[in-house]
Amino acid sequence: MQNPSDPAEQLDRNSGPIDLQDDLEGDTLREECGVFGIFGHPEAAAITALGLHALQHRGQEAAGIVSFDGSRFHSERRLGLVGDTFSRREVIERLPGNAAVGHVRYSTTGATILRNVQPLFAELNAGGFAVGHNGNLTNGLTLRRDFSANTFRRKTARPQSGTRLRRLRIRPASP
């Protein structure tokens, strides 16, 4: 038996021994979703829209921006390309504030519907936050079941970020 610390002999649970050469060849940039944010600028939403436009190649199904004006969150989320929504002045004017986060979607899970468009935001008693992410929760269904007795229901928070928001909301405060 070879040295078990040799990476070439480590087992992949799904497919047996890992072939390092295949792994290195498969280690390429995977462009799925794009996240852009800015803090401390009076035109945060407009700059975020430009950033999302530059990231459009990362996701062409949907785009969204959430801004914060110091007291409340403002959200615009749409199916389609960034330029189809965020190039209009009236849309950017509905996103006031000095902070914004945006997301372009390339789905790896979930249907192409508005409730799966990010970023999402939560307003909590102690404040709030907005989140956009690139990735999957591998145990998302388990987490959703575990939280069912202690969470709020929010019709727009279906993607995995919604599960993350609910988890943060029910976590007890630290002393």
Catalytic site residues?
33
Q: What are the φ/ψ torsions at residue 35 (nearest 5 degrees)?
A: -125, 135
Rounded Cα distance, 138 and 133, in Å? 14
Q: Let me know: does 152 contact 165? Beta carbons within 8 Å.
A: no
Query: Which residue matches tokens 């907005």?
Result: 130
Neighbour-count burial for 89-100, b at 16+ CB within 10 Å, e otherwise: eeebeebbbbbb
How do 127-131 and 73-79 pair as beta strands?
unpaired
Size (the chain), residues: 175
Say which residue the tokens 């995977």 belong to: 30
Quote the CA–CA distance of 117 and 81 in Å, as a whole number: 12
